Amino acid sequence: MILPHFLSAGPNDPEQGGLIEKRRNIIKVFDVKKSDLLIVDNQFGQVKVNLWDKGEIKVEIVITANAPSDSRASQYLSAVNIEEKRIKDEIALTTHIDRGQFANNGWNNRKGEKNFVQINYTVYMPKENALVVRNEFGDTEIPFFHAPLTVDSRHGNFVANFLENADNVIDVKYGSAKIGTMDGGKLEFEYSKLSLDHGKKILLINKSGDLRIGDVINLDANIDYSGANIGTIRGTGKIKLNYSGSFKIDELTNSAQNVDIQAAYSSIVLPAEANQFNVTVSYGNFTYPTNNVNFSMQPAKDNKSYKPRQYQGKIGAGSGTKITVNSRYGDVRLKD
């Protein structure tokens, strides 16, 4: 079902800066069963997803065009086509833009006021249905989601409050992500900023960005050219670092079992609690509290910094987390 609707703003509208605005509204409704998958592939606009109790998916699409003249705004509007496909258990909606219709007028408003065309999706769907969102040059907002979710975001921001399923895949490049709670899945970030408040079982690949995780049970991470701050680890940590200027874990709880860190050209700060440690450094230093540390192995005092130096021991009773660190060209610090 498609319902078209056009709105036109006058050329003297102060909010448009002399531009004429025209809109086209499209509404699509699909009856679905629990096994159906929705795929949304958008560009130059927002995607927002809401959950409801109906046995159908409704997608509201608003296409907005801005131009100096009415005819050109209509031309820009007609350049956008929403392709719909339904094959077996998959429903796919794809935004296509005929950029040839823009000719020499440019794709973006050169004055920086806004894009000539913006395509916004608002999705209403049952919580049982899986979802794939691909969005380029636009933000994606999914407050709550329970089924498997895949998000591929380019040049935009992703926001979610609660992702319950363990099979999530969130891929963000040239943007940011702010996630409240994520039960599990894969996070892949490049030239982006990630903030995750709570996670259970997380596989993380982070390249050239900023990273903050508040609380996580199990973390398997590969971090390159990116600083990282991990608040609390409650289970296990398996972490590879390359050129991480600052990697820090604030707390390892009594339930935390093992933390294994393999690092190169990185700086590492870990909590000095009642832990066991096995730390090897090359071309770097290992520092630790002077009190309550018992060594079972440590290098000779005249050992050169470029040679591997191994420190084994425990802090206090050593009843807590087993920490293993192998660091090349970087310092390791156990901090009170």
Residue 75 falls within a domain, yes or no? Answer: yes
Q: Between 15 and 92, whose confidence is greater?
A: 92
Residue 70 falls within a domain, yes or no? Answer: yes
Q: How much of the chain, in percent, has pLDDT values that exceed 70?
A: 89
As a whole number of angstroms, the distance between CA 99 and CA 27 comes to: 24
Residue 246 falls within a domain, yes or no? Answer: no
Q: How much of the chain, in percent, has pLDDT values that exceed 90?
A: 79
Q: What is the mean pLDDT of the chain?
A: 90
Q: Which domain holds residue 116?
A: 1-125
Residue 130 falls within a domain, yes or no? Answer: no
In tens, the pLDDT along 53-84 reads: 999 999 999 999 999 989 989 999 999 999 99
As a whole number of angstroms, the distance between CA 305 and CA 323 comes to: 21
- Residue 2 confidence class, pLDDT cut points 50, 70, 90: very low
Number of domains in the chain: 1
Residue 304 falls within a domain, yes or no? Answer: no
- Whether pLDDT at 205 is above 80: yes
- Whether pLDDT at 99 is above 90: no
pLDDT attached to residue 167: 95
pTM of the predicted structure, to 2 decimals: 0.89
- Residue 103 confidence class, pLDDT cut points 50, 70, 90: low
Residue 218 falls within a domain, yes or no? Answer: no
pLDDT attached to residue 146: 98
- Whether pLDDT at 17 is above 70: no
Residue 112 falls within a domain, yes or no? Answer: yes
pLDDT attached to residue 317: 84
Average pLDDT over residues 104-118: 58
- Residue 318 confidence class, pLDDT cut points 50, 70, 90: confident
As a whole number of angstroms, the distance between CA 210 and CA 224 comes to: 10
Q: Which of 42-46, 256-260, 274-278 has the weakest average pLDDT?
A: 274-278
pLDDT attached to residue 289: 87
Residue 106 falls within a domain, yes or no? Answer: yes
- Whether pLDDT at 112 is above 70: no
In tens, the pLDDT along 176-193 reads: 999 999 999 999 999 999
pLDDT attached to residue 301: 76
